[in-house]
Amino acid sequence: MAPKKNKSFYVLMACAYIVGIEVFLRMNGGTFFYEAIKYLVIAFIMMGLISNSFSNQSLIFVLYILLLIPGIFVAVTEMGFQTDIRRAIAFNLSGPVCLGITAIFCYKRTITFKQIQNILLFLLLPIVSMTVYLVLYTPNLQEVVTGTESNFETSGGFGPNQVATVLGIGMFVLAVRFFISKETIFHRLFDLALLGILSFRAIITFSRGGVLTAIIMILSFIGLYYIKVNLKTKFRIKLSLIIFMIMILFTWIISSVQTGGFIDKRYANQDAAGRVKEDVSTGRSDLIAFEFAEFVDNPFLGIGVGKVKEVRLSETGVEAASHNEISRIVAEHGLLGVFAFLILLITPLIYRIKNKSNLFFYSFYIFWLLTINHSAMRIAAPAFIYGLCLLNIKYEESPVHRKSSIQNR
Judge whether residue 406 has pLDDT over 50: no
Check residue 254 and give its pLDDT: 95
Task: Tell me the C-alpha distance between 324 and 322, whole Å.
Answer: 5
Which of 166, 235, 188, 231 is closest to 22 using CA atoms? 166
Task: Tell me the C-alpha distance between 183 and 122, whole Å.
Answer: 18
Check residue 1 and give its pLDDT: 45
**What tens digit of pLDDT does each residue of 317-353 get?**
666 667 788 988 998 899 999 999 999 999 999 999 9
Check residue 342 and give its pLDDT: 96
Check residue 3 and give its pLDDT: 55
Task: Tell me the C-alpha distance between 409 and 407, whole Å.
Answer: 6
Check residue 402 and give its pLDDT: 43
pLDDT band at 301 (very low <50, low <70, confident <90, very high): confident
pLDDT band at 409 (very low <50, low <70, confident <90, very high): very low
Task: Tell me the C-alpha distance between 10 and 240, whole Å.
Answer: 32
Measured CA distances, 22 to 27, 165, 182, 408 (Å): 9, 12, 30, 37
Judge whether residue 12 has pLDDT over 80: yes
**What tens digit of pLDDT does each residue of 224-262 get?**
999 988 888 899 999 999 999 999 999 999 999 999 899
Mean pLDDT over the full length of the chain? 87
List the single range of 125-134, 200-209, 238-247, 266-275 with lowest mean pLDDT: 266-275
Task: Tell me the C-alpha distance between 172 and 174, whole Å.
Answer: 5
Judge whether residue 401 has pLDDT over 50: no
Check residue 4 and give its pLDDT: 57
Query: Contact at 8 Å (CB) between 3 and 59?
Result: no
| DSSP codes joined into one string, 188-208 | HHHHHHHHHHHHHHHHTTT-H
Task: Tell me the C-alpha distance between 367 and 383, whole Å.
Answer: 10
Judge whether residue 282 has pLDDT over 80: no
DSSP E strand boundaries for 50-133: 110-112
Judge whether residue 399 has pLDDT over 50: no
As a whole number, mean pLDDT of residues 11-33 equals 92
**What tens digit of pLDDT does each residue of 108-121 get?**
999 999 999 999 99
Which of 203, 214, 215 is closest to 160 using CA atoms? 203
Query: Contact at 8 Å (CB) between 62 and 169?
Result: no
Sign, CA torsion 325/326/331/335: positive
pLDDT band at 197 (very low <50, low <70, confident <90, very high): very high
Bridge partner residues of 393 (DSSP): 111
As a whole number, mean pLDDT of residues 375-383 equals 91
Query: Contact at 8 Å (CB) between 192 and 243?
Result: yes
Sign, CA torsion 233/236/240/241: positive
CA atoms lying within 13 Å on the CB side of residue 289? 5
Measured CA distances, 347 to 48, 75, 94, 186, 218 (Å): 22, 28, 21, 41, 23
Task: Tell me the C-alpha distance between 120 and 383, whole Å.
Answer: 15
DSSP E strand boundaries for 33-147: 110-112
Task: Spell out the domain ranges in the chain.
Answer: 4-408
Phi then psi for 394, rounded to 5 degrees?
Answer: -100, 130
As a whole number, mean pLDDT of residues 176-191 equals 89
Query: Contact at 8 Å (CB) between 222 and 236?
Result: no
pTM of the model: 0.91
